[in-house]
Amino acid sequence: MKTPYFLIHQSILEEGLGKLHTALESYWPNSVIGYSFKTNSLPWVLSFMKEHGCYAEVVSENEYELAEYMGFEHIIYNGPVKGKDSFLRACEAGHIINIDALREIEWLKEAASAEKTINVGVRVNFDLESMCPGEASGGEEGGRFGFNYENGSFLRAVEELKEIRGVRLSGIHLHCSSKTRSLNIYRAIAETACKICKEYGLDLDYVDVGGGYFGGLPDKPQYDDYLGAISGILRKYFDPKRTCLIVEPGTSLICPPIDYVTTVTDVKESNRNRFVTTDGSRIHVDPLMRKKGYFYHIEPMKPEKETVKMQIISGFTCMEDDRLFRLTDAPALQCGDQIVYEKVGAYTMCLAPLFSGYYPDVYLEDKGRITCMRRRWGVKEYVQGTEK
Ligand SMILES: *Cc1c(COP(=O)(O)O)cnc(C)c1O
């Protein structure tokens, strides 16, 4: 197997999804998992999620088309810029749609008819930062998705929907991305859902609490903790038999099972440092260039006794800052040693640029058997559809 490549461990993926199913079963059996396409939309991953009962959670027209292509029977259509064609198809097919922009209300006016009811949800924008100071991704500027509760935009959207014959408000969507993934975020989401429904007397088919959970890290909250916190609050207002709970995990499911395997290609000394060059790159495991560290292990070709003070592990691109991590007081790395980055399945493969090298191979490991799930891109794939 030619490095670099991604390696998906099916058993770890199954274990994570199993834990989520168990937690939902015990806290809110009337529930749906919408797998967040954007987190990792490798076709094999999507098929796996579909076969395990997940709905597709998509946030753009292309993702909606991908869900159709993959044969998902159930789609949750979110996102601030949906396409009109796919929006109307979703209305027609009766998929779950959470509106996020005024123009979608106009589209609903066009699509509505007396014969068939279109059920829609509304994404709620609420002041998470004031409920969980320092934790919201939007920080002091506030979040930019959905219709704001505090300034009355949410209520106006709900009232406009009421005016459209053949359209019915069926749910609310409260996904928030946070810096902390803490339980407090989900308590705030659940509190807000109860508050809004009580205040406006809404009777809902579903409450969608979104994604953003930790997964596969023993010292962080588990699905049981998240769902315990959410259901404890939601139960004060919602009847679990009447209202479905939707969760939209991405990272927590697909981050843990994927490794990235690289090989040391060169070791060089400068007057200042020892650089260990590898055939992998930060663009494949940290495309946003902001990770502070990695889970990794080293598979040496042969045992090495010499210890060196400092080694800087770097990547194949010609960017100076394609440096992955530093090793201090560790055995000297040699050509041929493998460095395996673990838990790198979320926002990596889907965000990697086509910079200097193309997409690497992706393999699946299932009970020791290895299968190629995506062949690496070469020039042929890169130039597809272009003129020379
Ligand atoms: C990104 C996103 C998710 C998934 O978030 P993770 O942090 O990957 O779990 C779920 N729902 C919506 C609406 C999103 O935008």
**The pLDDT of residue 175:** 98
pLDDT at 241 over 90: yes
Q: By alpha-carbon position, which residue is closest to atom 10 of ligand 1?
A: 211
How much of the chain exceeds pLDDT 70, in percent?
100
Mean pLDDT over each residue of the chain, to the nearest integer: 97
Pull the structure tokens for residue 257. 């099972």
The DSSP bridge partners found for residue 96 are 76
- For 271-314, the pLDDT digits (tens) are 999 999 999 999 999 999 999 999 999 999 998 889 999 999 99
Please state the φ and ψ torsions of residue 201, each to the nearest 5 degrees. Answer: 60, 45
**The pLDDT of residue 346:** 98
Distance CA 198, CA 339 (A): 54
Cite the DSSP H helix spans in 70-138: 84-93, 102-111, 128-131
Cα(100) to centroid(ligand 1), Å: 15
Going by pLDDT thresholds of 50, 70 and 90, the confidence category of residue 380 is very high
Kindly report the number of other CB atoms within 10 A of residue 374's CB atom.
17
Distances from the Cα of 102 to the Cαs of 32, 81, 154, 196, 288, in angstroms?
Answer: 27, 11, 11, 20, 31
Distance CA 163, CA 161 (A): 5
Nearest to 79 by CA among 121, 139, 40: 121
Cα(268) to centroid(ligand 1), Å: 41
Distance CA 267, CA 75 (A): 49
Q: By alpha-carbon position, which residue is closest to atom 3 of ligand 1?
A: 211
pLDDT at 85 over 90: yes
Rounded mean pLDDT, 37-60: 98
Cα(250) to centroid(ligand 1), Å: 6
How much of the chain exceeds pLDDT 90, in percent?
99
Residue 97: burial class (beta carbons within 10 Å; 0-12, 13-18, 19+): buried
State whether residue 302 is helix, strand or coil: coil
Strands 307-314 and 323-331, how do they pair?
antiparallel
Rounded mean pLDDT, 111-125: 95
State whether residue 169 is helix, strand or coil: strand
Pull the structure tokens for residue 90. 């979703």
Strands 206-210 and 244-247, how do they pair?
parallel
pLDDT at 114 over 90: no
Distance CA 49, CA 45 (A): 6
Pull the structure tokens for residue 340. 């395996």
What lies within 8 Å, CB to CB, of 48 at 6+ separation is 10, 13
Report whether residue 280 contacts ligand 1, using a CB cutoff of 6 Å: no
Cα(313) to centroid(ligand 1), Å: 31
The DSSP bridge partners found for residue 338 are 263, 299
pTM: 0.97
Cα(197) to centroid(ligand 1), Å: 23
Distance CA 115, CA 299 (A): 64
Kindly report the number of other CB atoms within 10 A of residue 228's CB atom.
17
Rounded mean pLDDT, 141-151: 97
**The pLDDT of residue 305:** 84
Place of tokens 């796919």: 86
Distances from the Cα of 205 to the Cαs of 44, 82, 108, 176, 262, in angstroms?
Answer: 31, 22, 19, 20, 48
Cα(241) to centroid(ligand 1), Å: 25
Report whether residue 36 contacts ligand 1, using a CB cutoff of 6 Å: yes
**The pLDDT of residue 169:** 98
**The pLDDT of residue 15:** 98
Do the beta carbons of residue 58 and residue 78 sit within 8 Å? yes
pLDDT at 97 over 90: yes
Distance CA 260, CA 343 (A): 8
Pocket test for ligand 1, best of 100, 144, 177 (most atoms within 8 A of CB): 177
Distance CA 324, CA 283 (A): 10
Distance CA 67, CA 74 (A): 9
How many helices (H) and strands (E) the chain has is answered by 12, 18
The DSSP bridge partners found for residue 261 are 5, 340
Report whether residue 250 contacts ligand 1, using a CB cutoff of 6 Å: yes
Half-sphere exposure of 327 (CA within 13 A, CB side): 19
**The pLDDT of residue 344:** 98
